[in-house]
Structure 1
């Protein structure tokens, strides 16, 4: 017997479809891949861990030749997907982050936060903050977060060089994590040293209602105060925190010539320059490339150049 077709509520094909029974369909979603004991190309190891009942992550560590070597930077990374698709365990991120970790010589924590519409925002923000606090908890003994500590972080992490970063929605999350540390402290007094915002997903009052970026925000955070004028998605909103008070030492922003978000990302960079931000600011505006191009094919010349620029920023 043929089943009756489900009734559609929101159709953002080919990105996502949401049905009235609450289920979602994500076309072309990548299957998860396992971590690598030692990647043969990059010599980077990875493993999966559970942070809480809601949050898991994949950890990456470069090959350490000398166990007595100095501590290395820590990057907490948030994946792309418009807050409604994507995973820290996808092959796209396994390929990209193996290369980034190898080039930057750092410990990386790729956070698998909950996604909408099953878990509308602010779930992803809260999960990301919980992950960041978990990382910070490794900086002190007897910290406020219970549970077994992760030896890769304890043995190798430099908690004076903690970065946050991400692509698209992940770049938005990274921005908001930096903003949040301006009003809430991390365990052990850990500070975010720098932020890597790749093609960050922002909207503003000029974002058209018919645009995909507007529709996605309405889907993932239907109760957002102010809609696209929420400071979470609109860093230029009247009630958004002053960008000049961002408390990290350096910010890296990248965008692409063909990216629909390029104009707003460049506006973000200009606003940061004019805000009184006193840290280091670096922009990579990649000619001829589209949104998150390095994620889909990290082996092209331009992708390799961008990954190297990100790594240099973190090592510098």
Structure 2
């Protein structure tokens, strides 16, 4: 019997498998779903946009609570909303702005928060190794700053622009906030705040309950554990005092293996000499990105209210 020559050339258990012929199996992730105008349960509207063809960058935009409804009064339709430019998690290898998981997440989140969300579809490893995802997300933020979409133009408040993400997306949000401190955005737009939820950071010296892992090494070209993109306190990293926003909310969960690293980041920002305001929000009895995995729980609802308070006040 002829042996199958399509052998596995790279595998991260429970994440991704790459075959000799270039086929990639993603071992996690939810199915893609279309956007909806006026979600029947939450009244949240969503649509998809193309940000760039080369490289391919797109996004799913969300508007809350019937702002697109023809029945809304004029003042409601002309309401200017804070803008949250969001980067999904998934270890840089899986998940999507177009997935059912994140569609459910934002439909629920925006039922308690009047904000405009731009959820970015950036390129994934291993097809496109890091740092490409960081460049994609910066380009998406620049696209927002230029008011390149009607929803952003009509409903977005460019004086209240936030970046945020969960897990690997929280890592991206931090790095985008750092870049915003060093590089100007179009039109003089500033990032007001960063929402850093269950962040994925590492270092060559493990802390807390961290275990040995290979996700970062496989996702980044030349990415050791002290690369500044994954370790914001490495000797090669710019000072956290250069964060290009005025406030940061760091969120952790007590049962999360990455919890200690999130607290480490919060303490580092607080001690850095940065002149903004940093807060820590921790949830007992929950694990990594619980609020994304099941946004219907009471703890998730409480977290969404905390997000809304951070962005709206």
Cα gap change, 1:299 to 1:122, in 2 (>3 Å): same
Whole-angstrom distance in 1 between the partners of 2:29 and 2:179: 31
Alignment RMSD, CA only? 1.7
Cα gap change, 1:299 to 1:110, in 2 (>3 Å): same
Which residue of 1 is the match for residue 309 of structure 2?
Answer: 312
CA deviations 1:146-205 (Å, max 9, x no partner) are: xxx311100111000000000111001100000011221110011000011111110012
Whole-angstrom distance in 1 between the partners of 2:167 and 2:206: 16
Residue number among 117, 123, 127 corresponding to 2:132 in the alignment: 123
Cα displacement (A) at 1:118: 0.4
Which residue of 2 is the match for residue 198 of structure 1?
Answer: 197
- Note the 1:56-71 alignment, pairs <5 A: 56-62=58-64, 63-64=66-67, 65-68=72-75, 69-71=78-80
Contact kept, 8 Å, 1:163 with 1:195, in 2: the verdict is: yes
Residue number among 238, 242, 256 corresponding to 1:241 in the alignment: 238
Cα displacement (A) at 1:3: 6.9
Whole-angstrom distance in 1 between the partners of 2:73 and 2:16: 46
Whole-angstrom distance in 2 between the partners of 1:75 and 1:33: 21
CA deviations 1:11-60 (Å, max 9, x no partner) are: 22212112233332112431100111111222110001111111011000
Which residue of 2 is the match for residue 74 of structure 1?
Answer: 83
Cα displacement (A) at 1:308: 1.4
Which residue of 2 is the match for residue 42 of structure 1?
Answer: 42
CA deviations 1:234-271 (Å, max 9, x no partner) are: 01101211112212111111111111111111000001
Residue number among 288, 296, 300 corresponding to 2:293 in the alignment: 296
Q: Which runs of 5+ in 2 are unaligned?
A: none
Which residue of 2 is the match for residue 12 of structure 1?
Answer: 12
Which residue of 2 is the match for residue 254 of structure 1?
Answer: 251
Q: How many residues align?
A: 302
- Note the 1:146-157 alignment, pairs <5 A: 149-157=148-156
Q: Which runs of 5+ in 1 are unaligned?
A: 139-148
> SS at the partner of 2:111?
helix
Residue number among 51, 60, 85 corresponding to 2:94 in the alignment: 85
TM-score normalized by the length of structure 2: 0.92
Which residue of 2 is the match for residue 269 of structure 1?
Answer: 266
Which residue of 1 is the match for residue 218 of structure 2?
Answer: 219
> SS at the partner of 2:234?
coil
Whole-angstrom distance in 2 between the partners of 1:98 and 1:237: 37
Contact kept, 8 Å, 1:104 with 1:311, in 2: the verdict is: yes
Residue number among 127, 132, 146 corresponding to 1:137 in the alignment: 146
Contact kept, 8 Å, 2:198 with 2:252, in 1: the verdict is: yes
